[in-house]
Amino acid sequence: MRYLVLLLLVLLLLVLLLLVLLPLPVSAGQTIQGMVREVYDGDTVLVVTRSDGRLKVRLYGIDAPETRKPDRAAQPFGSQAKRVLMYKLLGREVLLEVRERDQYGRAVAVVRQGQRDINAEMVAEGMAWAYRHYLDGPYASRYIGLEEQARRRRLGLWRQSNPQPPWEFRQAGKGHGKRRR
């Protein structure tokens, strides 16, 4: 009997320990603080937090040119956008304003470094498009306005005469590598 009680206490402690150590799922409206440990491309980073561990984050409301992948070439300005985001964030503390989770399980967030809206900066500097399909609320008008200013000033990717948006580039690449009959 004593062993059964002891076993139940140990199990209870293990369950409590797991609840404390396992991260809770990230949800919309949540604000998370962490440090950027990796930059994957011009709109995706890895953030390490105390409460959630490693969190892959997609910058809300923007779409940067694609970087080189094993199965496809990079878009013009893809590597530049990645380098700019690395310079802004790598190794720095950020505040994430989580808007949602995407289909890949990434947190989609407005990334702030101090008082700076990094998502907005990427668009304003011509390193990303305002991703109109997924924008809403006050961010929509702000990011679209910043994109239009960058376009008029021919900043970043807007130096090209007719840059291809990343969503079109990805769509065109879906058929790449498949055999045609």
The better pLDDT of the pair 67, 12 is held by 67
| Predicted pLDDT at 30 | 83
Instruction: Please provide the DSSP assignment of 65-83 as one string.
Output: PPPPBTTBPPPTTHHHHHH
Class of domain 26-158: mainly beta
Phi, psi (deg, nearest 5) at residue 136: -150, 170
20 token code pair: 């404390």
Say what the pTM is: 0.80
Predicted confidence (pLDDT) per residue in 123-180, tens digit: 999 999 999 998 988 899 999 999 999 999 999 999 999 999 999 998 887 765 443 3
What is residue 6's predicted lDDT score, i.e. its pLDDT?
Answer: 59
The DSSP H or E segment spanning 174 is helix 166-174
Domain boundaries, the chain: 26-158
Token representation of residue 169:
């580039």
Cα separation, 94 vs 152, whole angstroms: 30
Amino acid identity of 10? V
Tens of pLDDT along 6-64? 555 655 555 544 444 444 456 657 899 999 999 999 999 999 998 878 999 999 999 99
Active site residues: 58, 66, 106
